[in-house]
């Protein structure tokens, strides 16, 4: 496993804990109330949580499924920027970790090149 993949895995795990816990808590409280009235109050927060989960999964796919490290690096930096645009100030740690992983992937040498 390459270093940018390890850093991306750590970032994704940390980035998925809070949104998944928030969605679980939302559905648990909503099942106790019985009326989906929380959707009116927390609709924006639910949308942000779903977008955070989508960005983290996209970062995971970019790091592990894309074979070209340059493309993976650009996608990881893009995931960090999208995360920052969705969550704003609270996403700065995720932005920094995704950008560092992206820069590490951009600096990674392609292993498919023949060594002379």
Report the number of distinct structural domains present in the chain: 1
**pLDDT tens by residue, 54-98:** 999 999 999 999 999 999 999 999 999 999 999 999 899 999 999
Q: What is the pLDDT of residue 15?
A: 93
**74 assigned to some structural domain:** yes
Q: What is the pLDDT of residue 64?
A: 96
Answer whether residue 43 shows pLDDT above 70: yes
**28 assigned to some structural domain:** yes
Asked if residue 25 lies in contact with residue 38, where contact means CB atoms within 8 angstroms, the answer is: no
**Measured in whole angstroms, how far is the alpha carbon of residue 14 from the centre of its chain?**
9
**pLDDT tens by residue, 2-26:** 999 999 999 999 999 989 998 888 8
Instruction: Tell me which residue range forms the domain holding 8.
Output: 3-107
**34 assigned to some structural domain:** yes
């Amino acid at each position: 496993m390459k270093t940018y993949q390890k850093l991306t895995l750590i970032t994704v795990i940390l980035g998925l804990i809070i949104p998944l816990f928030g969605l679980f808590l939302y559905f648990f409280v909503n099942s106790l109330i019985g009326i989906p009235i929380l959707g009116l109050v927390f609709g924006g927060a639910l949308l942000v949580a779903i977008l955070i989960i989508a960005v983290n999964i996209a970062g995971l796919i970019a790091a592990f499924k894309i074979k070209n490290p340059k493309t993976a690096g650009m996608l990881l930096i893009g995931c960090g920027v999208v995360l920052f645009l969705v969550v704003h100030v609270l996403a700065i740690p995720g932005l920094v970790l995704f950008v560092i992983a992206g820069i590490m992937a951009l600096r990674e040498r392609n292993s498919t090149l023949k060594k002379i």
